[in-house]
Amino acid sequence: MQKIDVAPTPEIYNSMNRSGYTWTQAVLDIIDNSVDAIRSRHDESGFKKGRVVVKACAKAGASRRGERKFLEKIVIADNGCGMSPDLLKTIFSLGKSSKRGTSALGTFGMGLKTAGFALGGRITVISREAADATLYMAACDQEVQMQTNDWSAIFDQCNPHLEAIFTEHVGDSAGTVVVIEKLTDIVPKMPPSFYKTLKKYVRRVYRYILSPSTNLGAHLPMEFLVGSVVISEGFDALMTTSSGGKSEFLLGGANMQFEERKFQGKKYFVRLSHTTNRMGPRPTDDALPDLGSGFKGVLRQGTYLIRGGRQVDQITGVWKPITGVSNLFLELSFEDSGIIGDTSLVQVDFGKKKAHLSEDFQKHLGKNVLHPLLAKVKEKTKQPKEKQKETLKELQKNVADNMSPHVKRFRKGRTKNINKASEKVLNDIFAPASDRKGKKKSKYNGQSLNLGGSKSSTEILFEERAWPGHIPFDIEVEEGAAICIALNTKHKWMEENIFHNENASEVAKNLQLITAIALAIINEQGPDGEPIKPEVLEKMGHLMSIFEHNFGELNTDEYELSPPEFDDHTASVALAN
């Protein structure tokens, strides 16, 4: 029998650089090690002044806009327990972890290596276990290793330059500093972009670690310093105290209180909330920045996955989305040791980029835990929706009954003509806005929808939202009688013709057209009985975004700008042809 060497060569970096990290995931993976170090020091000595520092160091460089500062290196530091020289020597060994099998955030032994080299080609780690201990460093340069085919790193006592870096970021304390240089293309080029995005992620991902009120037992007396901004308080992504909405807990409770459950002998913790809105404009992401943090789009429903007090993922698909319901969120806290053979209800990949519920657990969660509760939410929103459907049916009937005979006869023709009598009916449908006393004003003027002079009316309101994809706007009917037209701030056409359009008259006409389209297709169904609204809006939004700027402009060299004239005879001939 012959033993063969299966140790990796430096060429493994070619694979590690395809780890799939985003730059935020990579930075957070390294921050996890700092949080673990602070927790270890806190558990051992009661240390209550933990701090993680993240700094983007820049240098001046030339650009098309003149001299600007470009990101040169990233520094991540903590005043945690620090590392002994012997442990520091193993810091670049793949899969090596002293925390495996524990509830520590960095339990896989891969984070510093994979995340670090996803960010840059050279990593230097400086550390000491006590304030009076000698500072040592370990450094690994990916490019040098690949050129020399030598899988080794440098270990030494720190020189004055590295000592100064440690003192600047940690001070007179135990701790660790990670310096990442030779940055890769996934890292933002400018420090302001780096800081703006990272602050948002740090606040969201570590919110339970920063929140003393939670019953998860994950809180630490610590803070994060991202650039010059201190982040020291958590927030609750499942509730709002704003007047714009009311949060109801179906599992768990306020103040980040989870409900303990068991499946196959393993414990997990859950919270589920549904936030309903008062009459009037729906609260936007800007108005309620914490509720459903990270979930975008019109249909705000989803699940946060929490391990060790750290959000590792946020997903949809745990339950079938409920049409017409927004701000429905679940938080699920679980344990995952990272040891082979230790079956977890939820498993996290080593980069904490994704988490996966086991098939049996997801079925249990959906059928036994969530289904009865979600059925109540669906039933609660059913009556207002049914009332609104009847209102819209009445509207459609009112319009149809007063259509021009030409329109009734040639509805499928290319041209539709509405005579003066039917125009008056359509004008009467949109009555002046009702008394809005006590209601929050919308950015855009809405109005009440009055059905042919009847007493019942429905208010139409606009709200700015943001979601990816081609859908430019959507229409929603939820609790109450108001119709909300959601406008996508990320859509190219909407941005140019609504949000950045300084001509108020043009904005009004565009919003009138959008409202008419939305109302016309809200309840339309295809041959299979399924709603056609999403498909129509998707196609329409794609077409809107590819029109040239001068599409539809009048050629003033050949035509004068005057309205076309038609009489009944002309319209009849056009429709007949």
Same domain, 519 and 535: yes
- C-alpha 568/C-alpha 479 separation (Å) is 44
With a cut of 60, say whether residue 352 has pLDDT above it.
no
With a cut of 60, say whether residue 540 has pLDDT above it.
yes
Q: What string of DSSP letters covers 464-516?
A: EE--SSS--EEEEE-SSS-EEEEEETT-HHHIIIIIT---HHHHHHHHHHHHH
Pick from 278-292, 324-338, 464-478: least confident: 278-292
Top-confidence range, 61-75, 124-138, 316-330: 124-138
Whether residue 235 lies inside any domain: the answer is no
The per-residue pLDDT for range 558-572, each reduced to its tens digit, is: 445 455 454 444 434
Q: How many helices (H) and strands (E) does the chain have?
A: 15, 20
363 DSSP assignment: H
With a cut of 90, say whether residue 261 has pLDDT above it.
yes
With a cut of 60, say whether residue 514 has pLDDT above it.
yes
Whether residue 275 lies inside any domain: the answer is yes
With a cut of 90, say whether residue 219 has pLDDT above it.
yes
Per-residue pLDDT band for 574 (boundaries 50, 70, 90) equals very low
Same domain, 416 and 343: no
Same domain, 124 and 21: yes
Pick from 111-125, 160-174, 505-519, 545-559: least confident: 545-559
Same domain, 253 and 140: no
Same domain, 435 and 397: yes
Helix pair angle (504-521, 533-546), 10° resolution: 150
Mean pLDDT of 431-459: 49
Whether residue 91 lies inside any domain: the answer is yes
Q: Who wins on pLDDT, 239 or 17?
A: 239
Domain that holds residue 522: 384-571
Whether residue 236 lies inside any domain: the answer is no
Whether residue 360 lies inside any domain: the answer is yes
With a cut of 60, say whether residue 131 has pLDDT above it.
yes
Same domain, 36 and 63: yes
- C-alpha 330/C-alpha 370 separation (Å) is 9
Tell me what pLDDT residue 287 has: 47
With a cut of 90, say whether residue 249 has pLDDT above it.
yes
Mean pLDDT of 206-216: 94
Final residue before a domain boundary, out of 364, 379, 394: 379
Whether residue 351 lies inside any domain: the answer is yes
Same domain, 117 and 170: yes
- Which pairs from 564-572 meet CB under 8 Å and 24+ separation? 566/417, 568/406, 568/419, 571/406, 571/415, 571/417, 572/406
Q: Do 271 and 238 form a contact (C-beta atoms < 8 A)?
A: yes
CATH of the domain at 85: 3.30.565.10
Same domain, 348 and 415: no
Q: Which residues contact 306 (CB under 8 A, 6 or more apart)?
A: 208, 216, 269, 312, 331, 332, 333, 334
- C-alpha 387/C-alpha 198 separation (Å) is 45
With a cut of 90, say whether residue 225 has pLDDT above it.
yes
Tell me what pLDDT residue 355 has: 85
Same domain, 288 and 429: no
Same domain, 176 and 280: no
CA distance between the termini of the chain: 90
Top-confidence range, 30-34, 99-103, 144-148, 475-479: 30-34
Final residue before a domain boundary, out of 227, 254, 274: 227
Same domain, 448 and 337: no
Whether residue 367 lies inside any domain: the answer is yes
Pick from 44-48, 398-402, 415-419, 548-552: least confident: 415-419
Q: Do 139 and 161 form a contact (C-beta atoms < 8 A)?
A: no
Q: Which residues pair with 67 in a beta bridge?
A: 62
Per-residue pLDDT band for 341 (boundaries 50, 70, 90) equals low
Number of domains in the chain: 3
pTM comes to 0.66
Whether residue 233 lies inside any domain: the answer is no
Q: Do 279 and 401 form a contact (C-beta atoms < 8 A)?
A: no
Same domain, 404 and 417: yes
Q: Which residues contact 451 (CB under 8 A, 6 or more apart)?
A: 391, 394, 395, 398, 429, 457
Q: What mean pLDDT, rounded, does the chain reach? A: 77
- C-alpha 333/C-alpha 211 separation (Å) is 15
Final residue before a domain boundary, out of 313, 348, 379: 379
